[in-house]
Amino acid sequence: MNQDRRQIIVKEIDHWRRSKLLPDQYCDFLMNLYADQDTVHAGKQQQHTVGKAIAAVQKATGLQWFLTFGTFTLISFVVLYFNEFHPLLQMAVVALGTVVFLRIGQRLRSRNEAAGLAITSTGMLLLLGGGLHMLNIHGLDQWGWKTGLLAFSSLFWIVYGIAARIPALHLSGWLAAILVYAWLLSQFMVDSKWYEIQLYWLPIACLFGWGSWFVHRWSKPVSAVLFVTCALVWFMPELYSVMFTDEAIWLQLQLIAKIAIGGGILFAMRKQWMVWVV
């Protein structure tokens, strides 16, 4: 039978089912005749999911309805009147919201890793975004306040990423810390020479490389994150020169030399560093 005609018949049978023109057992029989097995399985699974949702709504108690609508009302009230709260209450709301998201994300990860990580990421973004919003509404727009908030967020991301075994969050914490360091350098180290910029970053790259070697015996994921951070910091002098300095002397030559030196080090120590991260 033509595939298009088969799809038309399947849609018609589905219409009969929804309209109650035929009993469900007849519709199931016709669907098994004309529909592909994958389509039938997907349809049954969708009906099962919808049926479970409807059954859950029907069986909900008055207390559950009250808690659901009460929670929604409370969230709406907090969002609408957040700017009118006392600063301490605003801090408590942001902290409590972050804790709730992290708790839900941690529990959800055991059943669905992607969904759990998404909820956890939302909590982390709430911490940073809520803090920036509070600084904005209270007129604390100086770079020092924002830098301090980002530094606190990066430290929290690193600690929680290691504790909860989320390498992406751990790495995000180090990236935020690198941004804070670059921001501080741009404020206090003005008109730096190219070799001074290299000295600002290369010892830190070596420190991350040593840290990757030092912790690999206890945690390979942490060691891998430190190794990736080391590789990123290795090229930060060139990126810093592009972002914060007006003149980047011999930038292309520096980048080529760094790639050659870094590649040579990786090749020479390939038997060592591969053990750290794998």
Tens digits of per-residue pLDDT, 240-272?
888 777 665 677 778 888 888 888 887 777 777
User: Mean pLDDT: which of 23-37, 68-82, 193-207 is highest?
Assistant: 193-207
In-domain check, residue 200: no
In-domain check, residue 99: no
Percent of the chain with pLDDT strictly greater than 90: 14
**Whole-number Å distance between alpha carbons of 28 and 26:** 5
**Whole-number Å distance between alpha carbons of 146 and 14:** 57
Whole-number Cα distances in Å, 40 to 5, 25, 59: 17, 14, 28
| Contacts of residue 132, Cβ cutoff 8 Å, sequence gap at least 6 | 146, 149
In-domain check, residue 11: yes
In-domain check, residue 101: no
Contact 238, 186 (CB under 8 A): no
In-domain check, residue 189: no
| pLDDT tens for each residue of 150-206 | 999 999 999 999 998 888 899 999 999 999 999 888 888 877 787 888 899 999 999
| pLDDT tens for each residue of 78-126 | 777 777 788 888 889 889 989 998 998 888 888 888 888 888 988 898 8
Structural domain tally of the chain?
1
In-domain check, residue 8: yes
In-domain check, residue 35: yes
User: Mean pLDDT: which of 8-12, 21-25, 26-30 is highest?
Assistant: 8-12
pLDDT value of residue 35 = 59
**Whole-number Å distance between alpha carbons of 110 and 221:** 19
Q: What share of the chain is helix, strand, coil (3-state, %, to 5)?
A: 85, 0, 15
Range of the domain at 26: 1-59
In-domain check, residue 19: yes
